[in-house]
Amino acid sequence: SQQGEEDPQALSIQEGENATMNCSYKTSINNLQWYRQNSGRGLVHLILIRSNEREKHSGRLRVTLDTSKKSSSLLITASRAADTASYFCAINQGGKLIFGQGTELSVKP
Amino acid sequence: SQTIHQWPATLVQPVGSPLSLECTVEGTSNPNLYWYRQAAGRGLQLLFYSVGIGQISSEVPQNLSASRPQDRQFILSSKKLLLSDSGFYLCAWRNRGGLGETQYFGPGTRLLVL
């Protein structure tokens, strides 16, 4: 499979802690994207990192990409209860996005 | 600004009945359009995508079909639903061109086949 694969599958933390989610993939990529999905809702794009980038920030989000290891990580700093959601990485394959199975993040107040 | 609509939000259908889910996009022209299915607690499976009116690519063999009668309208259909068709169906669009640019998702339709 060439899809992104996230780990852990589920993560439970306390408010204020940092949350780190990882994504591994098997094929060469042009970019990798991270999406968030609140329960029962559509996905929302968080951040895109290109293959020539190693790190990217957006607010409390920090994404890294290691193309030699074919892996990416999403770090959410100072988590809030409202960050509770599922997070998916997605890689481009011929113009289509292939999604991983996601990490379910629970942030307890 | 661009918006994407899906309806209905929830649907309960008996096995063997037909299905029609509609997705429309506003505020953009010539988008690429996508239908995904998401099983409970799982990732998204790409079902169909379209790069233009009447152009449909199917990703997996199944009981479903898709049509694009207008530039910003994407319809997912079935003649006879199966129990295994239950799931959360998401429509998405992105600007044509570029490589794997951001996709924008609709709110989804939850389908329960009984």
B48 CB contacts (<8 Å, ≥6 apart)?
A: B34, B35, B56, B57, B58, B59, B64, B66, B76
CB contact under 8 A, B32 and A40: no
Task: Render pLDDT for B47-64 as a digit per residue (tens, 0 to 9).
Answer: 999 999 999 999 887 789
Residue of A62 and B63 predicted with greater confidence: A62
Nearest to B34 by CA among B65, B6, B74: B74
Q: What is the spatial distance between Cα A59 and Cα A79, in angstroms, rounded to a whole number?
A: 12
CB contact under 8 A, B92 and A101: no
Chain B contacts of A102, Cβ < 8 Å? 42-43
Chain B contacts of A40, Cβ < 8 Å? 88, 108, 110
Q: How confident is the model at residue B98 (pLDDT cuts 50, 70, 90)?
A: low
Q: How confident is the model at residue A1 (pLDDT cuts 50, 70, 90)?
A: very low
**Highest mean pLDDT, choosing among A89-98, B51-60, B97-106:** B51-60
Q: How far is B58 from chain A (nearest CA, A)?
A: 12
For residues A15 and A84, the answer to whether their CB atoms sit within 8 Å is no
Closest CB to B105 among A40, A43, A100:
A43
CB contact under 8 A, B105 and A40: no
Flag whether residue A91 sits within 8 Å of chain B, measured between CB atoms: yes
The radius of gyration computed from the CA coordinates of chain B, to the nearest angstrom, equals 13
CB contact under 8 A, A42 and B101: no
Q: How far is B26 from chain A (nearest CA, A)?
A: 17
CA dihedral B18, B19, B20, B21 (to 10 degrees): 180
Flag whether residue A1 sits within 8 Å of chain B, measured between CB atoms: no
What pLDDT is recorded for position B42?
Answer: 80
SS3 assignment, position A82: helix
Flag whether residue A43 sits within 8 Å of chain B, measured between CB atoms: yes
Q: What is the spatial distance between Cα A98 and Cα B70, in angstroms, rounded to a whole number?
A: 26
pLDDT at A2 over 50: no
For residue B97, what are its two tokens?
A: 């061109």
Q: What is the spatial distance between Cα B78 and Cα B63, in angstroms, rounded to a whole number?
A: 6
CB contact under 8 A, B100 and A92: yes
Q: What is the spatial distance between Cα A63 and Cα A32, in angstroms, rounded to a whole number?
A: 10
Closest CB to B43 among A31, A95, A99:
A99
